[in-house]
Amino acid sequence: MPAYKAPLRDMRFLMNEVFDYPTHYANLPGGEEATPDLVDAILDECAKYCEEVLAPINQSGDEEGCHFADGVVTTPKGFKDAYDQYVAGGWQGLNYPAEYGGQGLPMSMGLLKAEMMGTANWSFTMYPGLSLGCMNTIMLHGDAEQKATYMPPLVEGRWLGTMCLTEPQCGTDLGQVKTKAEAQADGSYKLYGTKIFISAGDHDLSENIVHIVLARLPDAPKGTRGISLFIVPKYNVNADGSLGERNPVNVGSIEHKMGIRASATCVLNFDGANAYLIGPANKGLECMFTFMNTARIGTAVQGVCHAEQSFQGALPYAKDRRSMRALSGKKDTDHAADSLIHHGDVRRMLLTQKAVAEGGRAMVYFASQLADNMSVGIINGDIETYDYWDDKLGFYTPILKGVLTELGLEAANLGMQVFGGHGYIKEHGMEQYARDARIATLYEGTTGIQALDLLGRKVLLGSRGKVVREFTAEIAKFCRDNVANKAMRPFVWELTKIVTQWNYLTVRIMLQARKDRDLVGTAANDFLMYSGYAMLAYFWAKMAAVAFDKLENGGNDEPAFYEAKIQTAEFYFDRLLPRAKGHADSMLKPTASVMQMKPEHFNFG
């Protein structure tokens, strides 16, 4: 199993030299505690925990999987001890308010932590990670009593939480939710229904689990307008905060999955479970989606994690494994064959992994600064500030979630390919990365859902193209600022063409969709992928500009680091960005070739 080494050098390059996190934190209300020294110390400690505690149980956890017997879920060997260390380190409350026992640091610190943890062991990271949506929902929509009861133990990590949405008959279409809530005389409710695909739905890590559940009141309107949100603890909570008897939330089974096998994915049956309304009645979906942008960024991080993880596994192998001679002549003259890294196609694969991991990291780190600003509005109860930054973030999230998870899966598959046949063998660990990465394109909304969200909701209906115009205006300004720099001109020229083409494609789709509504569906995936390649190009150009400057004026790292940044940017623009042209050509094609075949003609045999 490849060892994990936290990419602190690259993380600090982005934080300190590209996005100026120290100034961002200093200007953030409540961010003054996040001093450079403190941030560095946290990164170092988190890296140590991930490298020494989480990474060593990643492969063993996959091999063992979770256990389910007599209604009880048990995590693999080593997970409980690793979680106890996580709680002892105060990691769960890193970016939650001090009034609940947290450290009150900016939200982005949680994403930096999540990247390292997720790369070291994604299955483990899902247990505390799924709790964040529960905590955020209670913090924003819970009443004073609910916050006082649930937030301190959740922030401490003594309790964990889940989000329970999906049912057997519905996944994305939550308007079909059937779970029922019956009012009780004391103001509480009884819940009846079944939820499926509940990550971390049950386990042995924490003393209690707090479920946030979508359900319907008896007189609720049909569809999404009639869904309410409820708190349902695994163990009932007494008035003094102690735990009472087991609530009738029963595990029906756990799923046997392709990947993330050490993460328990449960079928939960609510058999008259005690439940407590959170937020207004029939407004549950609105409350639920309050934090959807940050949840999707959290899943986008998984794409970065698996690209980084697979790159770290493939690179040493490519340097050590010898096969044939390089086409340009002998490289390792003391050996009978040259290392794989001297072969052009292997380099293509490694550079693709590197470009996705480091470019995706830049996209996520920038978006996390927007999330910091959004969280200030939440903590201060300033809905206007929250809505402004949530809208800004909303343009990024489907691109980050959809494109980075697709590219992360590609990078994980490339890691197997570098190993050749050995990549298919479990002992090397590379096939696990590919299996674990596969789910990222599915949960928190499939890639197709992200594409419709971007093109349908955000671009066409929500802003009539304004979000694209605003983002491309930002790119255009970058181009103007760097056009005089001879070294940057190749990047500037390509970005200038993207500015024009992206807006042209948006207008064309907008006009054609008026006559043919199916165009939105047939073009959405290509539009999403085009947008992702364009956005990655912009952030790679930003990193290249900083690297050129540091080579000339001095930076925090040695020249070779900045030279590698520039060379990776050149690879991205030469070899990966041209994919965008294919997506541009495809998205404007007539819908007939997709929609004309009758359903009965989709057959076989």
State the pLDDT at residue 387.
Answer: 84
What is the rounded average pLDDT of the residues 295-304? 90
Mean pLDDT, rounded, for 550-565: 96
Q: Crossing angle, helix 579-587 and helix 518-553, to 10 degrees?
A: 160
Q: Is the pLDDT of residue 605 over 90?
A: no
Q: What average pLDDT does the segment 447-463 reach?
A: 96
Backbone angles phi, psi at 405, to 5 degrees: -70, -35
- Is the model's pLDDT at 372 over the cut of 70? yes
pTM: 0.96
- pLDDT at 285 (0 to 100): 87
d(CA 73, CA 497): 54
Least confident of 328-337, 349-358, 381-390, 468-477: 381-390
pLDDT value, residue 436: 97
Mean pLDDT of 270-286: 95
CA 387 vs. chain centroid, Å, equals 21
Contacts of 391 (CB under 8 A, 6+ apart): none
79, 61 contact by CB (below 8 A): yes
Check pLDDT > 80 for residue 1: no
Contact 306, 356 (CB under 8 A): no
pLDDT at residue 343 above 90? yes
Range 248-271 burial, b when 16+ CB lie within 10 A, else e? ebbbeebbebebbbbbbbbbbbbe
Tokens coding 322: 């010898």
How many C-beta atoms surround the C-beta of residue 500 within 10 A? Answer: 11
Question: 186 is written with which tokens?
Answer: 């004391």
pLDDT at position 2 is 76
CB 51 within 8 A of CB 6: yes
**pLDDT, greater one: 74 or 289:** 74
The per-residue pLDDT for 382 is 78
Tell me which of 234-238, 382-386, 424-428, 538-542 is least confident: 382-386
Tell the burial category of 180 from Cβ atoms under 10 Å away from its Cβ (0-12, 13-18, 19+): middle
Q: What's the sign of the alpha-carbon dihedral 60, 66, 67, 72?
A: positive
pLDDT confidence of residue 147: 96
Q: What is the pLDDT of residue 503?
A: 98
In the prediction, which pLDDT does 381 show?
72
> pLDDT for 400-418, tens place per residue?
999 999 999 999 999 999 9
pLDDT of residue 582: 98
Residues annotated as part of the active site:
444
Buried-state track 137-165, b at ≥16 Cβ within 10 A, e below 16? bbbbbbeeebbebbbbbbbbbebbbbbbb
What angle do the packed helices 122-141 and 107-120 form, to 10 degrees? 160
Q: Which residues pair with 73 in a beta bridge?
A: 68
pLDDT at 294 over 80: no
As a whole-number percent, the residues of the chain with pLDDT over 90 amount to: 89
Residue 291 has pLDDT above 70, yes or no: no
86-95 CB burial, b ≥16 within 10 A, e <16: bbeeebbbbb
pLDDT 10s digits, 482-503: 999 999 999 999 999 999 999 9
Span 75-94, average pLDDT:
98
Tell me which residue of 446, 442, 303 sits closest to 364, measured CA to CA.
Answer: 303
The whole-chain average pLDDT of the chain stands at 95
- Say if residue 81's pLDDT is above 90: yes
What is the tens place of the pLDDT at every residue in 306-329?
999 999 999 999 999 999 999 999
Is the pLDDT score of 224 beyond 90? no
Q: Residue 560: its pLDDT value, please? A: 97
Asked if residue 241 lies in contact with residue 103, where contact means CB atoms within 8 angstroms, the answer is no
